[in-house]
Amino acid sequence: MNLRSGRRQFLQAIAATTVASGTACQNRIDPTPSSSGGASSSGGASSSGGASSSGGASSSGGASSSRGGAGGTDGSASGTASQTTAGTSGSGGSGQPRLTSPLGVALLGLGKYASERLAPALQLTKHCRLKGIVTGTPSKIPTWQAQYGIEEKNVYSYDTMDALLDNPDIHVVYIVTPNHLHAQFAIAAARAKKHVWCEKPMAMTPEQCQSMIDACAENGVKLCIGYRLQHEPNTQTVIGYASARPFGAPQQVDALSGFNGFGPSDADVWRLKKIPGGGSLFDMGVYCINAARHALGEEPIRVSRARQWTERPNLFAEVDEWTEFELEFPSGAVASCRSSFGENIDSLNITCASGSYKLEPFQGYTGVRGAASDGTQFNQTIENQQARQMDDDALAIIEGRDVLVPGQEGQRDVRILLAVQQSAQTGQPVRLA
């Protein structure tokens, strides 16, 4: 079985099975990610929206208030795959215009990450620009319009996303909502013929991920997952070591990712709520999983020693404050991982047969750096991680190339996240292949 057919079989298998009954998969990471989706039909990426708000700042997009509900319960928007409209996005697809730089990006979900990181980064990018917003909070609209010069016709609510279909200014919708809402908004954006960038973790189940992959494939748009670190040069050096093996075979990975950032006033924050995607594992543990897979260049076959706990039960009554787990790989290598909302941890150590190397910090927004046991320094610098990520992804779309981090990549991590949860709940190891 070659890598590509193995990847296809793997995707078909996980679309049809649960974590607990995982089936055979390819265990080496394919160094040439494909951006095409699976072939099966899209299912229902179900997840309901949250509280609604009222008000009604309107625009041509009709940005009346709404939160968390892009159309029906299957996450569908009313735009259909069969509609074709001038100005729709898609590079090189049949009948679609070739795109030129810079692409227009609409940020969807104007929370902390969108406002503090992505919008400022979009002022630094060369191949994409902030042109639109999609929000459920009308009161945010004037500020964003004033700060970034966003035209009225490029302002949307979650209920008016189907109107994006007719907007030639917007080529990409970047989903930056709470985790459990990613799938429905990604599917709505794809049905409006917009390329989709989506934050991590991609979705709540492998089936939701597959629905996103399918929706993008069916609508001729690309899907990129916001793993900014895969675009970061020192991280890329470490990923390259997985195949170059300058210190022999990697044997052990230790990945720690967490921050001590919540207090009593945060009790209502979605990350602390018993909703899919809440808790430290989904927020921070996903960095450990992704880093371990790429540092080793292979796919884990088993999750073991998983446990989740809290040391501040008043604050973390509903979700894990800490999660620890091990991933076992076909080569015999083991990754020991810890995520936390209770301590500041941020390091990736790789121990090999004849040496070691590390990144610390490994997932910070700035200053990712490290060294190897032979003195090699990993000290390349870039201006802005998010700008690098978005420019890479925009250029891939413009040039019609495979994207660096396609939906299949996010899907693999989601499958492992669920296995970790299952292992912690049952106290038993969970096989992944």
Angle subtended by helix axes 407-426 and 206-218, to nearest 10: 170
Determine, following the binding rule CB under 6 A, whether residue 278 of this chain makes contact with ligand NDP.
no
Binder of ligand NDP out of 17, 36, 137, 145 (CB under 6 A): 137
Minimum distance of ligand NDP from residue 75's CB (angstroms): 13
Nearest one of 35, 79, 396 to 217, comparing CA atoms: 35
Nearer to ligand NDP, 37 or 68 (CB): 68
- 148 is a site residue for ligand NDP (CB under 6 A): no
Report the residue from 179, 230, 234, 235 that binds ligand NDP according to the rule CB under 6 A. Answer: 179
Q: Binding to ligand NDP by residue 178, rule CB under 6 A?
A: yes
Any idea which residue has 């945010």 for tokens?
A: 140
Smallest distance from ligand NDP to CB 337, Å: 17
**Contact letters (x/-) for ligand NDP, 347-386, by CB under 6 A?**
----------------------------------------
Using CB under 6 A as the binding rule, whether residue 388 contacts ligand NDP is answered as no
Where in 37-56 is the site for ligand NDP (CB under 6 A)?
Answer: 49-50
Beta-bridge partners for 324 = 307, 338
Q: What Å distances lie between residue 250 and 57, 245, 260, 364, 375, CA to CA? A: 55, 7, 30, 24, 18
Output 10 or 156, the one with its CB closest to ligand NDP. Answer: 156
How many Å apart are CA 181 and CA 93, to the nearest integer?
Answer: 28
β partners of residue 103? 128
Closest to ligand NDP by CB, 25 vs 291, is 291
Q: Is 67 in the site for ligand NDP (CB under 6 A)?
A: yes
Q: Name which position in 148, 259, 262, 270 contacts ligand NDP (CB under 6 A).
A: 270
**Site track for ligand NDP across 68-107, x = CB under 6 A:** x---------------------------------------
For ligand NDP, the binding residues (CB under 6 A) are: 49-50, 67-68, 109-114, 135-137, 140, 176-179, 181, 199-200, 226, 228, 270, 283
